[in-house]
């Protein structure tokens, strides 16, 4: 029988090596666990009765002029998040929206799932759409909404790196659903709206033009003031709660 003789020094060195490895592993686990999940702005903590409405424009264009007329009738400002390919196809509508006093937001260049893109591809989507909008309106957007509401930390970091804010919504009109009606759209929005809400519509949903006057009148009767999203959100010294509510940092 053979015996292996291990010195105290060897034991000590072995223990030190094991301890160093354990510390490294625990440290890496803690760093991973601490990675903060970034969120876009779903709504804003607001004491005043302010609300913002928005439209996503990615495909058709049949109702855009009618929406402009309805918004003008009720003196309501809106933000239209447009896809770069939509700008290519309907530049006159982008100009109409801008000239009517509405804000134009970035909805990507080609409407991809952003989480499937590399950082370089994300930035290309953002900058291409911004350039197309600026060529028509003379202004670059400051707001971005991800297609399909699809985002991750990399998406939000890419948006922040070009000085923009990522916007979601807390009130979805569901005007895109096949079983949607003017009544269902109106009831849903009116019942869910609250101070600081951001409402989502689509510019080419079949029943949105029929539902919109009812919604705008009802919310105005309830005392809501309609504002642009970029005037509703907090630009500096803010945090976003776990439910996507943007608020001022404590002590600010």
Q: Enter the tokens of residue 8.
A: 């105290």
- C-beta of residue 174 within 8 angstroms of C-beta of residue 185: yes
Question: In which region does residue 244 sit, left (phi positive, over 0), alpha (psi from -120 to 50) or beta (all else)?
Answer: left
Residue 56 bears catalytic tag? yes
Nearest to 195 by CA among 246, 250, 249: 246
| Catalytic site residue from 170, 175, 202, 204 | 202
Angle ∠(233,239,241) on CA atoms, nearest 5: 100
User: Does the CA dihedral 217-222-226-229 come out positive or negative?
Assistant: negative
| Catalytic site residue from 56, 63, 175, 204 | 56
- C-beta of residue 113 within 8 angstroms of C-beta of residue 125: no
Catalytic residue set: 56, 202
């Amino acid at each position: 029988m053979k015996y292996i003789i291990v010195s105290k020094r060897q034991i000590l060195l072995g223990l030190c090596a094991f301890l160093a490895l354990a510390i490294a592993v625990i440290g890496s686990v803690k760093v991973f666990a601490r990675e903060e999940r970034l969120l876009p702005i779903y709504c804003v903590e607001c004491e005043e009765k302010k609300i913002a409405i928005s439209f996503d424009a990615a495909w058709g264009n049949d109702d855009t002029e009618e929406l402009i007329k309805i918004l003008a009738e009720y003196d309501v400002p809106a933000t239209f998040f447009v896809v770069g390919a939509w700008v290519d196809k309907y530049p006159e509508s982008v100009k109409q929206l801008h000239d009517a006093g509405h804000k134009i937001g970035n909805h990507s260049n080609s409407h991809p799932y952003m989480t499937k893109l590399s950082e370089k591809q994300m930035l290309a989507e953002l900058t291409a759409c911004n350039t197309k909008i600026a060529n028509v309106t003379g202004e670059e957007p400051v707001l971005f909404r991800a297609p399909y509401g699809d985002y991750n930390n990399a998406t939000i970091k890419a948006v922040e790196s070009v000085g923009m804010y990522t916007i979601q919504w807390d009130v979805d009109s569901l005007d895109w659903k096949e079983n949607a009606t003017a009544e269902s759209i109106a009831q849903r929005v009116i019942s869910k709206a609250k101070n600081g809400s951001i409402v989502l519509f689509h510019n080419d949903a079949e029943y949105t033009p029929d539902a919109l006057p009812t919604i705008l009148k009802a919310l105005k009767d309830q005392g809501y003031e309609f504002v642009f999203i970029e005037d509703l959100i907090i630009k500096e010294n803010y945090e976003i709660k776990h439910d996507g509510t943007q608020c001022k940092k404590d002590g600010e």
